[in-house]
Structure 1
Amino acid sequence: MKYFSALVLILLLLASNTALAQKTATGILYHDENHNGRLDSSEEPLPKVAVSNGEDVVLTDHQGRYELPVNDDTIIFVIKPDGYKTPVDKLNRPQFYYIHKPNGSPELEYQGVSPSGPLPGSINFGLFKEEQKDNFDILVFGDPQPYNMKEVDYFDRDIVDELVDEQGYEFGISLGDLVGDDLDLFKPYSESVARIGLPWFNVYGNHDMNFDVEHDSLADETFEATFGPATYSFNKGKVHFIIIDDVIYPNPNGGSGYIGGLTDKQITFIENDLKHVPQDHLIVLAFHIPITVPGYASDSRTINSYFLEENRNRLLGLLSEYPNTLSLSAHTHVQQLQFVSDGGWTRETPHLHYNVGTTGGDWWSGEPNENNIPPTLMRDGTPNGYSIIQFEGNKFVLDYKVAGEDHSKKMSIWGPKVLPQREWFNADLYVNYFMGNDSTKVEYQVKGQDNWRQMTKIELGDPYVTSLRNKWDLSESLIKGKRPNNAVASSHLWKTRIPKNLPEGEQTLIIRVSDMFGREFFDEYNYRIVKR
């Protein structure tokens, strides 16, 4: 009987402690008309705006007030409505959240969140009005991933320099692996991106983690201290953006390392969040690890260890409720456009997943150019660069900008320069259209002729990539820089036999690409016919 009484007492104490840990955060959302960061008596409250604790989502009442449960590890954030913008800090990082960690982060190798102290009586959020736009463009970066200050400098000069004060973009998103394990590089990375002059949202990647933790909930402490919540959402025009931390560490399947996936809390947040999004809006998800398996991953071990299948199916099931969707990822250091119609996806029209090429390319590898920047060509033949997304209402167009090149650079062409006239000679021409997929058509025409001939889509290593790698392996002296990785099967490569039954002399083939967005792009390939 004494044992039973003691047990009851312990359970009551535990329940009491849990109840004490669970508190209610309250505050007001308002139009910060004078941009002073304080709620003034003359400023209007903002009703019917969503606010979240990372799981629950509530709407502010007619006085702009909200209430949300919190514990001692909670981030309260606003889900920004269209027609408003959030304040940014001096490095253009949006300030739309409040971190409640009374005791701060545990002691870690890299600094986490400082103790926030007791829960404030009112956590208020001020928003600024902005012009409502249904048509707008954004920038998207895949994996900058610098491992040291030299690579931060590569990123700064190769990517950021050409975008400083560039007009016409509303904001930017980096899709994780902002740095390469050294979290002290968050600051110089942020200082570089801030030069672009746009609000910048950052996704959490597997190289942005605190590795010296035993639970996934603590792996993003330094990221939170620097950028805020790792999972949240916001609105712009008729587009609803959801930023997601999809890295689980340690791997729940056992062993070391991480795996792609979501927690139950995140899935609940996404479900609650979508309840407040109109059906005719475009849903854009941005995360780091793709929910699709890379085209070059063929062994079952790679496929089964990529993303937790149950999480993927639940996420796709939620997305299936909306006719207009797009998801963005990075991580693979190749570029792929994949159409998802399996798992939890229930719509007849497939979901488009864009695995974005990286700003860091093939991990800043290759022989440095005259500016002492490595070419860092990706293994699938995509040059390093960044994506541009153009939104028109709930529709979108995807584009890719090669770093340091004109906007017209959309493809690379590889083939022999000299061919024997009408002789037996297996000469193939390869076209790598960086934004290509199964719906892309690639054709060629001999200049001066009228007929177009279709090229064949293939999935193998780009021979141009292989030739660059061979240079390193065949060289009898060390080459400056870091040897690139070997070619992998490209998902956007086409080939054809080069015509040899032409007159002697210089010949030109015109290449025409027709893509899924109704655009046409042209390029030329020159070669010479020689009679033996």
Structure 2
Amino acid sequence: MLVFADPQTKTATDVDYYRRDIVEPLLAGRAGSRVADLGLSLGDITHDDLSLYPQLNAVTASLEVPWLHAPGNHDLDFDATRDEDSLLSFRHVYGPDTFAWEEAQANFVVFDDVVYQPGGKTDYIGGLRPDQFAFLESYLASASKQRLLVLAMHIPLFDAAPGRETFRSADRERLFALLKDFPNLLVLSGHSHTQRHVFHDATDGWQGAKPLHEYNVGAACGAFWSGVKDAQGIPDTTMSDGTPNGYARLSVRADAGYGLRWFPARQSGGDKAANPYLRLYLPKVLRRGSYPIRGVFANVYMGRADSRVEYRIDEGEWKPMRRVEQPDPALLAENARDDEADRLRGYDRAAIATPSAHLWNAPLPTDAAAGEHQVDVRVFDPWQGEQRLSASYRLLDTAQD
């Protein structure tokens, strides 16, 4: 199953980026087989300009895959005076905003979780309407507990920051109560334009037998189609947590197990091709004997809080890296280049780097011999197995060497 979050096109130009950056590489790589059995978009299909739906749909339809759509906060009719009428245009094009879809291996519930609040401090908040709860109660009463149940929505169930309610806590509590007896669950959400895995537990009000896995999927548009363009004229559009734009694949097994994988856009070209699972950042040169404060960073795009990430120097002993919640240094460097430029480097600047949920760090030793030293990093992914990437740095005896 293909999972797209936030294509979020503002203009016909962005629709063309979506076509060339996301869809056409999928078509080129199918080698005569189907691209996928099913597709899903997790809201913000477009960015307020709903007249772009026909163009977007034509591009997505070229994949020849049955496709499900959840609405996002940028798919609203902003002239609506109440939440119930805020998706009239979306429903006219895509059908119901809340529905169930059943496949042989899994059940899907796709729903609108954007509560429009015209005239308020904020235009919307995450939550569910009473009629949606009634639908869920009715559907779940006879739904199989042996199958995987996937809930697809736009706004994440977790709050964006401590003390800031971005999904109504009362609605989350009620939803969790409906789901607690289902052992095989997965939540897919978008909206954040970053990527992370959240495992809801009792601290969030979840009362199920095991933590509830929510995969907050990175955006197809990345950082809103921003940044420096490549040789093909497509913006870099790396997200604020350092994740390259792209899409996810969900694979479902007959035993209700599942696998997830992130695919950077056009991964066959440029720096994104080094390894589609992670990126390394480290200094090129250090003075031999200097204080070992400079280190290697590994941005593991599908990393989780419990991910095992290790490194070694010159094929020595593997050692654990430390997870840090700070901005991706590669994106910070891009921000600095934007600041130093005397003209715009792209239509919009790169995203401002924000703390990443999947960044690891380790110090680089400076007490080795002068010359080149290899750094290997390996990650143990629960679905894709071991992933590795290598880089190097040089030690110089003096700054003049």
- The equivalent residue for 1:403 is 265
2:227 touches 2:351 (CA, 8 Å); kept in 1?
no
Question: Which 5+ residue runs of structure 1 have no aligned equivalent?
Answer: 1-137
Residues 238 and 351 in structure 2, CA contact (< 8 A), matched pair in contact too:
no
Which of 380, 391, 399 is the equivalent residue of 1:525?
391
Give 1:256 deviation, angstroms: 4.5
Task: Measure how far apart 1:324 and its partner are.
Answer: 1.0
The answer as to 2:250 corresponding to 1:383 is no
Which of residues 17, 41, 45 in structure 2 aligns to 1:178? 45
In structure 2, the partner of 1:79 is none
Q: Quick one: which of 147, 151, 157 aligns to 2:20?
A: 157
Offset at 1:378? 0.2
Match of 2:167 in 1: 307
Q: Deviations over 1:221-263 (max 9, x none)?
A: 11111010010011112311000100111269x4340111001
1:186 is paired with a residue whose SS is: helix
Determine what percentage of the aligned residue pairs are the same residue.
34
Q: 1:478 to 1:204 in 2, by over 3 A?
A: closer
Matching residue of 1:331: 191
Task: State the secondary structure of the residue aligned to 1:514.
Answer: strand
Counterparts of 1:178 and 1:523, CA distance in 2: 34
Separation of aligned partners in 1, 2:384 and 2:69:
31
Match of 1:263 among 123, 129, 139: 129
Aligned Cα RMSD in Å? 1.5
Q: Secondary structure at the match of 1:210?
A: coil
Structure 2 length normalisation: TM-score? 0.93
- For 1:434 and 1:480, the matched residues in 2 are separated by 24
- How far the C-alpha of 1:531 sits from its partner, in A, is 1.7
**Amino acid in structure 1 at the alignment position of 2:44:** D
Matched residue of 1:318: which SS?
Answer: helix
1:236 corresponds to which of 103, 106, 110: 103
Aligned-pair distance for 1:377?
0.4
Q: What SS class does the counterpart of residue 279 from structure 1 fall into?
A: coil
Aligned to 1:281: 147
Equivalent residue letter for 1:322: F
Aligned residue identity for 1:372:
G
CA contact (8 A) 1:314 1:344 kept: no
Mapping of residues 91-240 of structure 1, within 5 Å = 138-164=1-27, 166=30, 167-168=33-34, 169-240=36-107
- State the secondary structure of the residue aligned to 1:442: strand
Instruction: Specify the alignment match of 1:346 in structure 2.
Output: 207
Match of 2:381 among 515, 524, 529: 515
Show the counterpart of 1:464: 330
2:182 pairs with one of 322, 331, 343: 322
Whole-angstrom distance in 1 between the partners of 2:304 and 2:25:
28
Rounded to whole Å, the distance in 2 between the matches of 1:524 and 1:280 is 42
CA contact (8 A) 2:4 2:42 kept: yes
State the one-letter code of the partner of 1:363: F
**Match of 2:18, SS?**
helix
Between the two proteins, the alignment pairs up a number of residues equal to 387
Q: 1:401 to 1:452 in 2, by over 3 A?
A: same
Report deviation, 1:507. Answer: 1.3
- Check conservation: 2:292, 2:365, Cα contact below 8 A: no
CA contact (8 A) 1:164 1:197 kept: no
Deviation, 1:274, is 0.9
Mark the runs of 5 or more structure 2 residues left unpaired by the alignment: none
**CA distance in structure 1 between the aligned counterparts of 2:290 and 2:121, rounded to whole angstroms:** 58
Partner deviation per Cα, 1:267-321 (whole Å, 9 max, x = no partner): 1111110112122111100000000123xx34x3xx22x1111111111111111
Preserved CA contact (<8 Å) 1:511 1:523:
yes
CA distance in 1, matches of 2:71, 2:236: 26
C-alpha distance in 2 between matches for 1:247 and 1:424: 51
CA distance in 1, matches of 2:11, 2:238: 19
